[in-house]
Homo-oligomer: A and B are copies of this chain.
Amino acid sequence: MSDGAAEMAAVAREILALETAALRRWCDGDPSGFLAISAPDVTYFEPFLARRLDGLQALTAHYEALRGKIRAERFELLDPVVRPLGDAGAVLSFDFVSWSGAEARRLDWHCSEVYALTSEGWRIVQTHWSLPRNAAASG
């Protein structure tokens, strides 16, 4: 059995791997990666929705409408930090940059993801994507 710090590092690695794999699919037009790791009671914020979206069913409907429409050739998670909350939760936060198109248009985002440990593994219970003002992104 590893000590607490090693366990925390393992949790951080696992969560970061889940997020990165889902982002890789997302940037290839496929929202199923995120849908597969979001909890039934997920809550979701993004700048193009005026209000919070509640529940996996609503998130699925929203994401299916975007399927095939989003593409980025390259992305980076800047300074991702995983902050554990006891044994049952953790919050991942990072700044996100993606580049897409022939002109490699850059988009900058803030992102926080709250993960809960469920019987099925780590699942996202809160997602918050936002756009810094005056960033490269224009919506």
Contacts and interface: CB of A to CB of B under 8 A. Distances in A.
Copies of this polypeptide in the complex:
2
Contacts of A65: none
A6 to B, nearest CB: 19
B131 A85 contact: no
A52 to B, nearest CB: 6
Contacts of A112: 43, 45, 112, 114, 126, 128
A83 interface: yes
A52 B94 contact: yes
Interface string A69-94: 00000000011010101111101011
Interface in A77-126: 78-79, 81, 83, 85-89, 91, 93-95, 108, 110, 112, 114, 116-117, 125-126
Q: What does DSSP make chain A's interface, helix, strand, loop or mixed?
A: strand
Contact of A131 (B47, B89, B114): B47
Nearest to A48: B133
Contact of A110 (B41, B89, B95, B128): B128
Interface of A: 41, 43, 45, 47-52, 54, 78-79, 81, 83, 85-89, 91, 93-95, 108, 110, 112, 114, 116-117, 125-126, 128, 130-135, 139
6 smallest CB-CB distances across A and B, nearest first, come from A85-B89, A86-B88, A130-B130, A45-B110, A89-B89, A133-B139
